[in-house]
């Protein structure tokens, strides 16, 4: 969000290589999330949430199909 707001002041996405930085930052976000969660001790919670999300989404979608 800071990147967008600083664009009005001549920084942010108005710089020549800003879009490349924005794309690489978006692509590397999951990798750094994993690394930083290992650093601060929440790796188990991150892995648990990552594994449970598809399982819970699948069971809820099956319930919705049965209901209608």
Q: pLDDT per position in the chain (68 positions), as tens?
A: 556 566 666 666 667 777 788 888 889 988 888 888 888 889 999 899 989 988 888 877 776 677 66
Task: Measure the CA–CA gap between 42 and 40, rounded to whole angstroms.
Answer: 6
Number of neighbouring beta carbons within 10 Å of residue 22? 14
pLDDT at 1: 53
pLDDT at 27: 92
Lookup: tokens for 32: 């750094």
- Expressed as residue numbers, the domain containing 13 is 2-67
- Looking at the 3D structure of the chain, how many domains does it have? 1
Residues 34 and 46 sit within 8 Å (Cβ to Cβ): yes
State the pTM of this model: 0.52
């Amino acid at each position: 969000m800071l990147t967008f707001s600083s664009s009005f002041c001549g920084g942010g996405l108005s710089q020549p290589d800003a879009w490349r930085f924005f794309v690489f930052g978006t692509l590397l976000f999951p990798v750094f999330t994993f690394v930083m969660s290992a650093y601060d001790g929440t790796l188990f919670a991150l892995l648990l949430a990552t594994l449970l999300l598809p399982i819970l989404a699948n069971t809820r979608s099956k319930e919705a199909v049965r209901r209608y």
